[in-house]
């Protein structure tokens, strides 16, 4: 790899750096997170964002067809012949007026960025194509991740579709939805289920990868976040290169919001946009470390010197009170977000806020998203629930242009959806009761009708 691309510690006071092909993914000086860094003077950044429209005429080239790699000049770490694409990033920005009304926004002001359309059904494919490409550049034969489900599904798809690597997946016990587990198994990944939750699995996969020299694709991997930047480029593209007022995204490991922040910081540095949008990160109330630290304890990036005592103290209190992450939104059921520091930087540069949404609020928002035309999994709907909250607080105005990112497909977690809409109280309570969900405000219940033509016709007339 050319030395115009390297890895650099995110802390401005630390001069830790690594070559681009290093796969340890931790700062050699301070142990912190790394960025993929570019010497733009020696690379060829695009002259203007509209320049990317020239790629639209090249759709027979898989690199220009990909919703990630058609922006490759903004993530120029890989030679084109090394790039591994499976057609990721063919996603849409959809105007959603019914959801806008639910959120309290004017018609035409709320859009949903539907990342469920990716090959494995979640936004993770945007990052996986980049990490997988980097893995290939470094000669890796095995790749591993810990996952609440979607990272493993994505890795399993990339490994099976390309036949280039073996996927090794760490999951916690009982913390993965069936749709996602089904993908890992069907695509032939080695699936290691350990007793413990996601945070435990995350610690173990890092130890194991280091010991066995297995390539790690979790979001500590800065190359993955390079791919996820393109979600923002596609939103800008769909908005004719105008920057929206708000991007609202669910927060789990905080990789997504970190990559969005990096995307906008780079576009500003390159003079390709004048101002960034504001970023809103939405935690589930049962996994709200970021909301607690940022909004309740005032933790800030602080020019690269965030208060380490505050963070340590918070985690100690979680341990002491034996508090474990618990939410129906399994993709964000994470209490130790790996990308905490990067997320602080993103919010600092993009005027960010954090909020939390209860499982009740998440599932009600999810039902509205579904009724509005796009199906998403529970974690994704946290963005809409959070936007509604920020609107009610007056932080988002009804006329702001808001994009909520729908991170994953509805069919990832059918159990939650079916329980929500079920007329049977036991089915509802078994899945949702212990989550503090009391009512299905927008349930669409199946209608019970005897097997009789007149009764069936009567029912249809009554309900339509």
Ligand X SMILES: *Cc1c(COP(=O)(O)O)cnc(C)c1O
By the criterion CB under 6 A, which residues form the site for ligand X?
122, 124, 150, 219, 250-256, 331-332, 377, 379-380, 407-408
Which residues 6+ apart lie within 8 Å of 120 measured at CB? 128, 150, 153, 154, 156, 157, 183
Complex with ligand X: residue 214 or 331, whichever CB lies closer: 331
Q: Which of the choices Zn ion, ligand X, none does residue 32 contact, using the CB cut-off of 5 to 8 A by kind?
A: Zn ion
Closest distance of CB 29 from Zn ion, Å? 5
Closest distance of CB 224 from ligand X, Å? 9
Complex with ligand X: residue 65 or 255, whichever CB lies closer: 255
Closest distance of CB 318 from ligand X, Å? 18
Closest distance of CB 235 from ligand X, Å? 16
Closest distance of CB 59 from ligand X, Å? 27
CA atoms within 13 A on the CB side of 394: 0
Question: Binding Zn ion by CB under 5 A: which of 1, 4, 14, 190?
Answer: 14
Residue number of the CB closest to ligand X reads 408
Q: Which of the choices Zn ion, ligand X, none does residue 29 contact, using the CB cut-off of 5 to 8 A by kind?
A: Zn ion
Q: Which of the choices ligand X, Zn ion, none does residue 179 contact, using the CB cut-off of 5 to 8 A by kind?
A: none
d(CA 110, CA 134): 35
**27 lies in the binding site for Zn ion (CB under 5 A):** yes
Closest distance of CB 219 from ligand X, Å? 6
Place of tokens 């002491």: 320
**28 lies in the binding site for Zn ion (CB under 5 A):** no
Question: Binding Zn ion by CB under 5 A: which of 6, 7, 8, 9?
Answer: 9
Question: Binding Zn ion by CB under 5 A: which of 1, 4, 16, 326?
Answer: 16
Q: Which of the choices ligand X, Zn ion, none does residue 377 contact, using the CB cut-off of 5 to 8 A by kind?
A: ligand X
Angular region, 408: left φ>0, alpha ψ -120 to 50, beta rest: beta
* Structure tokens that stand for 120 in this block: 């494995």
Closest distance of CB 410 from ligand X, Å? 11
d(CA 246, CA 397): 10
Burial class (CB in 10 A: 0-12, 13-18, 19+), 252: buried
**30 lies in the binding site for Zn ion (CB under 5 A):** yes
**75 lies in the binding site for Zn ion (CB under 5 A):** no
**311 lies in the binding site for Zn ion (CB under 5 A):** no
Complex with ligand X: residue 172 or 251, whichever CB lies closer: 251
Residues near Zn ion, by CB under 5 A: 9, 14, 16, 27, 29-30, 32
């Amino acid at each position: 790899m050319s030395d115009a691309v390297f890895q650099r510690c995110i802390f401005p006071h630390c001069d830790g750096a690594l070559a681009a092909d290093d796969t340890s993914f931790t700062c050699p000086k301070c142990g912190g997170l790394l960025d993929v860094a570019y010497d733009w003077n020696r690379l060829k950044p695009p002259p203007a964002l509209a320049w990317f429209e020239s790629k639209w005429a090249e759709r027979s080239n898989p690199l220009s067809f990909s919703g990630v790699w058609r922006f490759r000049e903004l993530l120029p770490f890989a030679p084109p012949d090394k790039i591994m694409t499976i057609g990721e990033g063919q996603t849409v920005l959809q105007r959603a007026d019914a959801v806008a009304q639910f959120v309290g926004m004017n018609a035409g002001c709320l859009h949903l960025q539907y990342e469920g359309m990716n090959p494995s059904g979640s936004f993770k494919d945007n990052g996986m194509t980049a990490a997988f490409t980097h893995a290939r550049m470094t000669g890796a034969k095995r790749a591993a991740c810990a996952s609440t489900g979607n990272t493993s599904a994505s890795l399993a798809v990339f490994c099976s579709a390309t036949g280039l690597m073996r996927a090794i997946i760490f999951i916690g016990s009982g913390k993965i939805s069936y749709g996602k587990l089904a993908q890992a198994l069907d695509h032939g990944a080695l699936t290691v289920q350990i007793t413990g939750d996601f945070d435990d699995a995350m610690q173990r996969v890092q130890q194991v990868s280091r010991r066995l020299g297995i390539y790690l694709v979790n979001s500590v991997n800065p190359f993955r976040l390079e791919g996820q930047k393109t979600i923002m480029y596609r939103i800008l593209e769909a908005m004719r290169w105008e920057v929206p007022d708000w991007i609202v995204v669910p927060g789990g490991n905080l990789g997504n919001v970190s990559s969005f922040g990096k995307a906008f910081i780079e576009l500003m540095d390159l003079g390709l946009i004048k101002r960034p949008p504001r970023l809103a990160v939405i935690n589930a109330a049962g996994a709200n470390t970021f909301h607690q630290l940022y909004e309740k304890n005032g933790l800030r990036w602080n020019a690269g010197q965030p208060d380490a005592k505050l963070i340590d103290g918070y985690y100690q209190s979680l341990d002491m009170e034996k508090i474990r992450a618990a939410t129906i939104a399994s993709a964000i059921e994470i209490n130790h977000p790996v990308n905490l520091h990067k997320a602080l930087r993103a919010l600092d540069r993009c005027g960010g806020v954090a909020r939390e949404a209860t499982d009740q609020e998440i599932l009600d928002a999810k039902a509205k998203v579904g009724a509005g035309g796009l199906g998403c999994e529970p974690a994704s709907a946290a963005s809409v629930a959070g936007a509604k909250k920020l609107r009610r607080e007056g932080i988002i105005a009804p006329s702001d242009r808001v994009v909520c990112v729908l991170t994953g497909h509805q069919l990832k977690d059918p159990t939650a959806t079916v329980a929500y809409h079920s007329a049977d109280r036991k089915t509802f309570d078994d899945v949702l009761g212990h989550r503090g969900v009391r009512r299905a405000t927008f349930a669409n219940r199946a209608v019970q009708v005897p097997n009789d033509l007149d009764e069936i016709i009567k029912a249809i007339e009554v309900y339509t």
